[in-house]
Amino acid sequence: MPFSDYKTALVTGASSGIGAAVVERLRREDIEVHAIARSAGALKELAERTGCVAHVIDVTDRQAIADLADRVQFDILVNNAGVDRPKKFLQADEEDIDLLVDVNLRAVLHICRLIVPGMVERDRGHVINISSIAGNYNFGGNSTYHAVKAGVAMLSNQLRIDAFGKRVRVTEICPGRVATDIFNHVHGDDPSVRERFIDGFELPQAADIAEAIAFAISAPVAVNIGHMEITPTLQVMGGLQTAKPQAPAETSASKEPGP
């Protein structure tokens, strides 16, 4: 469905990185873009630069999202907001699990619940769920993130089933490593973080992800681009490891002398 068939968009996590790039790209198509984020200063600058409508809202604030959905009929929904707390599940904290589930999955479910039915009723709409390669592939040390992103992947598939027979398209975008400031948000604002994740690598930029999203949206109405993995050319997923069994640890009982 060409951009001319769409009038309004909602983009979450819009204050920086991929979210801000998506806002900029959609505004170039004269879409009325409502940008949601928690950072008031960054949103204000984005609104001044692009002409988007800024809303300082946490995506977990269901009532605020519901109020916005009542006021505006959205043709495009871009679920981009997300957080991460890289940690093996054996060391997972209760707070980290709740945060990732609340922001990365529960908020996406509720935003879709509030907006997608209107798309179905109007027989027009496009949902973009920005997931991750972590929803499709396993790599160490990020178990909760993998779990919630896999949930977003399954939701994307199910939305197509639930909207069957209507011109509501659903696209799951699965980025690999992208040159954004998300690594500083996750690992701390330290020069070593950029050296570890960005400097010296050939990485897609946030604008590249936004162009891929624009490509999916601008496809003819008969075309649904359902799943896109966007990774650096020099990044691969997967791998095979085999460990030798470790000797069982001695227990205190085994150390005690016999009778």
Q: Are 226 and 127 in contact (CB under 8 A)?
A: no
φ/ψ of residue 54, rounded to 5: -90, 140
d(CA 172, CA 156): 6
For 35, 63, 107, the CA distances from 98, given in Å and listed in that order, are: 25, 19, 12
d(CA 115, CA 77): 8
- What 3-state DSSP class applies to 94? helix
**Tokens 């994740």 found at:** 197
**Residues taking part in catalysis:** 145
